A and B are shown apart, each in its own frame.
Chain A
């Protein structure tokens, strides 16, 4: 490939690429994001190729391996263009039907369609499936349209137009002005205004300047950055180059965690292709602007995503945070002015440049503009990546897109912002989600993690779970975070074990406040959020544990399993499956659990036939006095 030396050469190439693509030609897009690959989509693409050969359709059709479509739970996903027919959970054995029916005859394979769990209706078109229909995929939308290894696919959809516009129509200051006017806030957690950060890095004295993409994504359960980086790498590269131009940097870094091999692979390839076309490197598009990008693979601790720790890691030192009273925009990587933004922040930039700040500002709320990608997981019917305008309510996300809570359970809380976010109860369901509102409610946007919990979740146990994660992930440098989390965890363990008093809860609260106020970096400062937010909204559950009751019947020390003599049919299933032989009883007589031997593994509860429901969990009350061995069962009325 020859290097492009001007905007007109870029446009000529784009025209050529588009003219070679027949819009009516069928294209089978097989999601090849990490999620779908794990459920077998690599093999699936191969089978598609073979089948096409069999039907002598090879040249007439394209198999496109795209990035993540977001509906990972239903993967592997196959989308058929131009009709946008969406097939879910596609197996290799389905391929032949898809080709012989859909491709050859235009018929739809019903069994592979999405079924609405409420109405039982089958839905064929992707854009009509509630999960997709209720989203606004500004950033994520092209993931399902392009092959991330093909720069041509990106160019065909208008890729690098924003870069050309920036280099030839904007002075660096104007780019910053545009991003400021768009009020783009950082998507990595803090929500800091991106334009302002760019401006202070531009104005800082010291050369060279560095610009860095944060793709550490240490938040377990979040994968939006991975999906963007591996599914549409050129979008991030384009945003990064524009950012480099704006702040006066010629050297960019992309920090990707080691555990994201596909993201690294696709980004490496994207850098190579952009260099070949002269969209990266010396004298980009003949503009005189030089910019290079290198990838740094991170060892992937949660704390390495923190800005000063990340920069230390790129320098080859231990990835540990330091005080940032002197901002990294003034003294960052190798003590030079450095600008760090999240993957999604950079992905917004080309869109802002192309469509203009005025257009962008119309999406979102007063204080938070644009969209945000959330990773919706937990007790919700449709899990996956969800992109919605800022200000969308939790109810719209959890019910309209997420399809509500499975098994007719009740919604209890939603944890936003990842492990160090807060838990919000039901009264916040109609609450608009944006940076400031979440913060006011005692939670945070974080990277966009969203974990839905139903009535079976114990909030104290949950706070313990996250505190445990954070105690492990703390770097251990400062006393409040290291020692504070250690003792917070101990107290939480005591509470869930029923060994704590009211005073312990008061200690926990005071300690949490000190950890929040005195810790060195944002990990420690936000680590008490799970505890403080559950204390704020679910204090009654803490009180219950003090009294010896776990209301959700989760905490093992506070529950007992009990067989209801009125319901037990003496089938013996629980007895046969009990791993500690804690259940006795003859067939057709009432079974009894020996509480001393019971390890509360839940097996008896799980295996007791649904129509008997004889095993129950008790908490906070004594186990009823035992019936005599050999008591005959009472047959249940039908």
Chain B
């Protein structure tokens, strides 16, 4: 593997080509907030909490660090005013889905105690659609028993009829679910 050197928060960091900025940072002990990242799954880029600012050819840009590949000489900043604003507002949006969970801890860290946005009424259980269960099932179990359903504001995680009988005995993806949605769905299979 080819080595590349980049700079994250003023620290020189060695990384391997093909890694993402998020992975390189994690290895160097720099924690970037996230909800949809998992070491063993393909990057997804959905929660956007891991947005960082990169500088290239004297141009600054905000990117999702979980998807952005490392490059030689890349300069990365993981916190500044713009990034903090994004994380603050995103955690408010997440708090409107559910008042508790990993994001609530993060929200506090970014000075958010209460969301300005109206709390959603979730008839079943809350879910932020991080897709960990869907991807775990597809990429690791190779089963495709959990899938996204619908589009836009109506998108939901759902068990695929016919395939999901195995879920009752599998339950492996429960460990990746923060909100407990998948537990709820599987319990309701009974």
Query: A interface vs B, CB < 8 Å?
Result: 301, 318, 322-323, 325-326, 471-480, 482-487, 490, 507, 510-511, 513-514, 517-520
Contact = CB atoms under 8 A, between A and B. Distances in A.
Given A472-B153, A482-B152, A482-B155, A519 B129 contact: no
21 contacts: A301-B151, A322-B45, A323-B68, A325-B67, A325-B68, A325-B69, A472-B151, A474-B153, A475-B151, A475-B152, A476-B148, A476-B155, A477-B155, A478-B45, A478-B47, A478-B48, A479-B128, A480-B89, A487-B93, A490-B118, A511-B89
Contacts of B68: 323, 325
Contact of A480 (B69, B93, B131, B152): B93
Contacts of A507: 116-117
Q: Which 7 A-B pairs have the closest CB atoms?
A: A476-B155, A323-B67, A483-B93, A474-B152, A514-B89, A518-B48, A487-B117
B34 to A, nearest CB: 11
Given A474-B153, A484-B93, A507-B116, A520 B48 contact: yes
A612 to B, nearest CB: 45
Contacts of B45: 322-323, 478, 520
Contacts of A476: 129, 148, 150-155
A517 B153 contact: no
A192 to B, nearest CB: 16
B118 A487 contact: yes
B86 interface: yes
Contacts, number: 101
A483 B131 CA distance: 15
Given A479-B94, A514-B89, A517-B51, 9 more contacts: A323-B45, A477-B129, A479-B46, A479-B49, A483-B94, A490-B118, A507-B117, A511-B117, A520-B64
A589 B50 CA distance: 69
Contacts of B93: 479-480, 483-484, 487
A471 B46 contact: no
Interface string B97-139: 1000000000000000000111000000000110100000000
Contact of B129 (A471, A472, A482, A517): A482
Given A323-B67, A477-B46, A479-B93, A471 B152 contact: yes
Contacts of A326: 69
A486 B154 CA distance: 10
B152 to A, nearest CB: 4
Contacts of A477: 46, 129, 131, 155
B37 to A, nearest CB: 13
Contacts of B128: 479
B63 A325 contact: yes
Given A325-B63, A520-B46, A473 B152 contact: yes
A206 to B, nearest CB: 16
B153 A480 contact: no
A511 B45 CA distance: 19
Contacts of A323: 43, 45, 64, 67-68
Contact of A483 (B63, B96, B154): B96
B36 to A, nearest CB: 9
B89 A510 contact: yes
Interface in B51-91: 51, 62-64, 67-69, 82, 85-86, 89-90
Contacts of A513: 85
Interface in B9-67: 43, 45-49, 51, 62-64, 67
Given A323-B43, A480-B48, A518-B62, A471 B153 contact: yes
A482 B47 contact: no
Contacts of B118: 487, 490
